[in-house]
Structure formats: C-alpha cells, structure tokens
Amino acid sequence: MKVLAALSGGVDSAVAAARAVDAGHDVVGVHMALSRTRAEHRTGSRGCCSIEDANDARRAADHLGIPYYVWDLSEEFHDTVVTDFLAEYEAGRTPNPCVRCNEHIKFDTLLERGMALGFDAVCTGHYARIDVRDDGSRELHRAADAAKDQSYVLAVMGPDRLARSMFPLGTARSKAEVRAEAVARGLGVSNKPDSYDICFVADGDTKGFLTRALGERPGEIVDESGEVVGAHQGAYAFTVGQRKGLRLPRPASDGAPRYVTAVDTARNVVTVGPETLLSVRVLAGVDVVWLAPDVPCDRPTPAQVQVRAHGAPASATVTRDGDRLVVDLAEPMRGVAAGQSVVVYQGTRVLGQATLAR
C-alpha cells in the first residue's frame, strides 16, 4: 500500500513512519509547514512547526530511507484553524484548535492531496486504535496507553477519513516504549520533548494572543444578581469555569471563590458566581460527526462522554437526532463551555462527536 506519512519532527511520527515501513508499505514522508513564520525557533516544548521541527523530520526520513517533502499548508491552516479559533472566542465560545486541525488539515487537506497523488492512506503518530470489523468497516478506539490517548481529537474525522488512516502507535503501551524504540532504531528525536499548548500560541499566552488579534474591548464583570463587581479588557478572553485572572477588586460576600459562569460577547459582559452555578446535567451538541452507523443512538442510549482532551469520561444517556445530540449526564458536570467538543464512547470505542451549543 502506498502510504503518506505525516512527519511533524517529533518522536511519535518518526516511529509511526518506521512501523509503516516495517509493515511493508511504500512510504513517503511529508512535513506540513503550518506556521507563517517558519524561521522562528522552538521554545522548549511549546509550539511546533518551527525550523528545527522541519529539519528533524528530514533527518528522520533520511534515516528511514524514504522520500521526504515539505508541503506549505500555512494559508490553509490560518484560514481554517486560526480564523476559527478567533471567531469562536469572539462569539463567546471555547474552541479546541487541535480538533479543527485534525478535521481541516491533517485529515482533509493532507488526505485530499495525498489521494490526488495516488496514495492509499495517511499515517500519523496519533495514539488511537483502528479495529476492522468483519464487513470491512472500521471502528475508532482509545489507544492502549490511556495517558496518551488522542481519540478525543480524532473523533471529528468521520468514517470516510477513518477508512484511509493509519495509527501505528495505537497499540504502544507507553510513551517510554516509543522513545525506547526510537533509540533502538537510531532516530535522533528519541529525547525530544513533546509539544504542548496551542501550537500557534508558542509563548502560551492565549489571552495576549487574543488581545493582539481582536483588540482591547473594555467592559464589565457582573455577579449573578447583575451587580458590577469588576472590569475587563475583552469578554472574548474569558471562558466558562475560569477562576484565575479575574482581578476582582473585592471578594464575594461569603468569601468563596468566584468563577466565570457566562460570557456574553454581544453585550461585552462577563458574569461570575459561585462554583455551584457551574454544574450542568444536560448538554446540547450540534454538527454531529458519527462513526458508528450500527449504533445510531436515535433513542436514549447508555454511553460515556468526554468534553476535554484528557478529561475523565462521564456516564450519560445520549440521543442523536440527525445533526443534533442531547446528552443527559448521570452526574452533574462542572465548567462546561459552548464550543467544546463532546465525544461519545462505548467502552473504548468512539461512537461520534458534536460541538457543544449550550
């Protein structure tokens, strides 16, 4: 099989490509250049797509003896992932840019170009498993290593993209195992730190990034009764459940911490209140992507749901109605914000995904 291996410059994608080569596939490596300022240097483990990452990807491809190319997808990345990130925050929602990147770049633009060039599949270093059913259809499952599982951010890919994807690290028992394999193979990226945070906010200052892009918009912070208790420089920079960074001039009357309970960017008002106001029992999702046609959930179905990439799964009953999803939680969940992804599981299997509307 002709396989296009996405090489980020990290240890995971390098070992994944090596395993694809070992499996006998005809592998070609490609590095996705996503940053408009690729000459910038990496800061520790923050960010990605730097000049060091491109060089590390090239060295990995050379070591594996596979062809290597760099594809400039920076405009596509900016016009979809970054633009969506800013628009969602500006609308008072809390997006997950990794979900959007997997949807629009890694398993849309990359896959589309790969198929046009005659490739059969895309191989990445994601930690997730694909199980093939007797009828040839595919199921997406959590990785063997729960600590590294990335099925949450992959759920948005849909069945067609899943059918043309390979995740060779899904069966890895730990990241330590992958690093040890990289050492044994002589791959120079074996000790490279994992990237974290939002890749296009390399300094980790999301609020500063939003302020620079959207500008300051001074407004009021009010409590649950509507009383003004503070001020802000832009409601878009706050998210439901946030406690730090409120800079309120005085504490609540009972001395308890206050949290963001609502963000109204149309009025430019942030509402704060006690922790008890953050708990919800029902979630409503839209833009459903369903991976399990054999489990339609068109009637209340027991399942587990997850609303953060590394959050704990919560027991729930889910009902799917076309492009909408209703989740009735068994126990209240705290600090859930519109814009987050809710992913539905049964055991290790991913059934589908939706974007929280409320």
Q: Per-residue pLDDT tens for 217-229?
A: 999 999 999 999 9
User: Would you call 115 exposed, middle or buried from its count of C-beta atoms within 10 A (0-12, 13-18, 19+)?
Assistant: middle
Using an 8 Å Cβ cutoff, are 342 and 333 in contact? Answer: no
CA-to-CA distance for 41 and 43, rounded, in angstroms?
A: 6
- Please state, in angstroms and rounded to a whole number, the distance separating the CA atoms of residues 177 and 175: 5
Please, what's the b/e burial string for 39-49 (b: 16 or more CB within 10 A of its CB; e: otherwise)?
eeebeeebbbb
Residue 312 burial by Cβ neighbours in a 10 Å radius (0-12, 13-18, 19+):
exposed
Which pLDDT tens digit goes with each residue over 226-274?
999 999 999 999 999 999 999 999 888 888 999 999 999 999 999 999 9
The pLDDT tens digits for 144-161 are: 999 999 999 999 999 999
Per-residue pLDDT band for 190 (boundaries 50, 70, 90) equals confident
* Dihedral, 338, 339, 340, 344 alpha carbons, nearest 10: 90
pLDDT at position 40 is 53
* Spatial separation of the C-alpha atoms in residues 206 and 217, rounded to whole Å: 16
Q: What is the mean pLDDT of the chain?
A: 92
Q: What's the topology of domain 280-356?
A: Elongation Factor Tu (Ef-tu); domain 3 (2.40.30)
Task: Measure the CA–CA gap between 245 and 330, rounded to whole angstroms.
Answer: 32
What CATH code would you report for 2-185?
3.40.50.620
What is the share, in percent, of the chain residues with pLDDT greater than 70? 96
Q: State phi, psi for 114 to the nearest 5 degrees.
A: -60, -45
CATH number, domain 216-273: 2.30.30.280
pLDDT reading at 45 higher than 60: no
The most confident of 28-42, 200-214, 266-280, by mean pLDDT: 266-280
Can you give the pLDDT at residue 63? 97
What pLDDT does 236 receive?
96
Given a cut of 90, is residue 196 above it in pLDDT?
Answer: no
According to the model, what pLDDT value does residue 254 have? 87
Q: First CA to last CA across the chain, in angstroms?
A: 44
Largest CA distance in the chain: 68
Question: What is the CB-side half-sphere exposure of residue 48 using CA atoms within 13 A?
Answer: 21
Residue 197 pLDDT > 80? no
118-122, 203-207, 234-238: least confident range: 203-207
Residues 6 or more apart from 71 whose CB is under 8 A from it?
30, 31, 32, 33, 110, 113
| pLDDT score recorded for residue 168 | 98
Q: Which residues are catalytic?
A: 101, 199
Q: Where are the domains of the chain?
A: 2-185, 216-273, 280-356
pLDDT at 38 over 60: no
Query: Encoding tokens for residue 323?
Result: 């492009």
DSSP string for residues in 163-195: TTEE-GGGG-S-HHHHHHHHHHHT-TTTTPPPP
- Name the pLDDT band for 52 (thresholds 50, 70, 90): confident
How many CB atoms are closer than 10 A to CB 358? 11
Q: Looking at residue 18, what is its pLDDT?
A: 98
Q: How far is CA 178 from CA 7, 40, 91, 184, in A?
A: 15, 28, 40, 10
Give the pLDDT score at 70. 95
